[in-house]
Structure 1
């Protein structure tokens, strides 16, 4: 768990649980989105490399 998220949790402990739950879900989705974007870009690079190697 990264520091930023940890601190957000600390700050949210004083607030109500419903909001906290929504916040966790949103953070989770943002994390997944970032991860998928990284994987997609990595895959795209690999695809381009394969195409280049086929051309030469």
Structure 2
């Protein structure tokens, strides 16, 4: 199967993100911008779920 060059680029970025992941156990006491928090919540909301089961989402 052949992938388009841009699709291959995104696959490599995904592989790097999975490969380079790490657990964070210490956090700074620095406020995080609201738009960064909203971006991360939306990313989690759009992630696939096991057996397509979705918990109820808050309005």
Fold-level similarity (TM above 0.5): no
Larger Rg: 1
TM-score (normalizing by structure 1): 0.36
TM-score (normalizing by structure 2): 0.35
